[in-house]
Amino acid sequence: MKAIDIRNKYLKFFEKHNHKIIAGASLVPANDSSVLFTPAGMHPLTPYLLGEKHPEGTRVANYQKCVRTIDIDEVGDSHHLTCFEMMGNWSLGDYFKEESIKMSFDFLTQDLNLPIEKIFVTCFEGDSDCPKDEESANIWRQAGIPENHIYFFNKKENWWGPVGNTGPCGACTEIFYDTGKEKCNANCNPSCGCGKFIEIWNNVFMEFNKKEDGTYEELAQKNVDTGLGLERAAMTFQGKDNVFEIEIFKPIMDRLAAATKLTQGDRIIADQSHRIIADHLKAAMLLIVDGVTPSNIDQGYVLRRIIRRFIRHMRKAEIDVEILESLINEYIEVLEEMYPELVKRKTMILEVLLAEKKKFMKTLVNGEKEFNKAIIRIKEQNNEILDGETVFRLYETYGFPPEITEELAQEQGIKINMENFEKLYKEHQEKSRARS
């Protein structure tokens, strides 16, 4: 089943269960400077989870584009993405555990036809802040989930939120799909990262507000916040073990594989770069649609970093960067069904990305030369750390964000002196400020 079909079925199911389908918010949060990007479907709903009345009532559902840069270095493996879509349904002081779990169970087993044997669930084991969630486990048992498919874990696994230091949060029950792969060892269970179990849906019972002092106060209303990662669900239900094989990414991955000049022996490196390019380019396009432009601060800086990173990976995979324009055109054609806004803003997307590419390419080749010289020097000195001065010069003169230098250095087994870079960067900023 294609991702868009899962999305449509999901919305239809919750509409049938009296939810109002609301629009997703911008990737740039409207009234919250504590995060740069919308990290989860619940984030734009925070005031309503805290008690404000939502104009559409107490049951809402939607799909929400999210960006999480915390995992940026993980992109390149089989399932991490910086930009993904989350399906969500919310009870704003309406239904709680029983109805929420039953709806999730019915959607998965009836609308998506998943066999019960494939479903595993986890519940909160309890601590001094909140008791063991036997209630959720019982609801799962009654629905037909066998005892040996129910696990209890601590806060690390079965507690969600708040976003930042304070705000709505609570125990959660997570739903996993058993891919049927062999267990990696005797203790393999849904919390194991080996890939046997894939988390597909998280139902959070948001009944607490975490306060500045770290304590939890009960909210006036009990809420439910659920999140189903669309790309990961599509990967799982399509029987793929790599998210880049789903129809959203496959055509672009094939195009990149055809464009790389790396030979068969280097294909693992190329594959990793292709995944980074596919993820980052999609993230960059959707950020541009939401009004972000490359700059040296905040959202603009992250966008710049993402763009420069995928351009560097095009070079690393020996892909001619001149294909970027046609790559963007082809990608938009693939994504159009899910994101028609990309077509409407195509001219702007092309303008921003091609201008940034041009700017970066001017200095990239010289910067790489400079970097390579520095690495030879470091290795000759038997040193394992690249000095902050070089990292700063690469940033200042060649526009290498320090993360790119770090990544390049890592590929050579070298660390960078980030602390010293930051010191030099601050001094430089203060000097520029004093001058202006």
Helix (H) or strand (E) holding 201: strand 197-210
Q: Which residue is nearest to ligand SER (CB)?
A: 227
Where would I find the beta strands (DSSP E) of 53-166? 59-67, 83-91, 119-124, 150-153, 159-160
DSSP character for 113?
A: -
Supply 297's token pair: 């601060």
Residues that bind ligand SER (CB under 6 A): 40-42, 88, 160, 202, 204, 225-227
> Least distance in Å: CB of 338 to ligand SER?
19
Comparing CB distances to ligand SER, the nearer of 225 and 271 is 225
Closest by alpha carbon to 10, among 92, 115, 86?
Answer: 86
Comparing CB distances to ligand SER, the nearer of 160 and 237 is 160
Supply 55's token pair: 């104009």
> Least distance in Å: CB of 10 to ligand SER?
13
> Least distance in Å: CB of 204 to ligand SER?
5
| 3-class SS of residue 242 | coil
Comparing CB distances to ligand SER, the nearer of 17 and 68 is 68
Comparing CB distances to ligand SER, the nearer of 172 and 332 is 172
> Least distance in Å: CB of 14 to ligand SER?
14
Cα separation, 25 vs 346, whole angstroms: 20
Comparing CB distances to ligand SER, the nearer of 76 and 227 is 227
CB 232 within 8 A of CB 243: yes
Cα separation, 30 vs 97, whole angstroms: 30
Cα separation, 95 vs 206, whole angstroms: 12
> Least distance in Å: CB of 11 to ligand SER?
16
With 0-12 / 13-18 / 19 or more C-beta atoms within 10 angstroms meaning exposed / middle / buried, residue 129 is: middle
Where would I find the beta strands (DSSP E) of 68-149? 83-91, 119-124
Comparing CB distances to ligand SER, the nearer of 58 and 226 is 226
Comparing CB distances to ligand SER, the nearer of 88 and 402 is 88
> Least distance in Å: CB of 351 to ligand SER?
33
> Least distance in Å: CB of 160 to ligand SER?
5
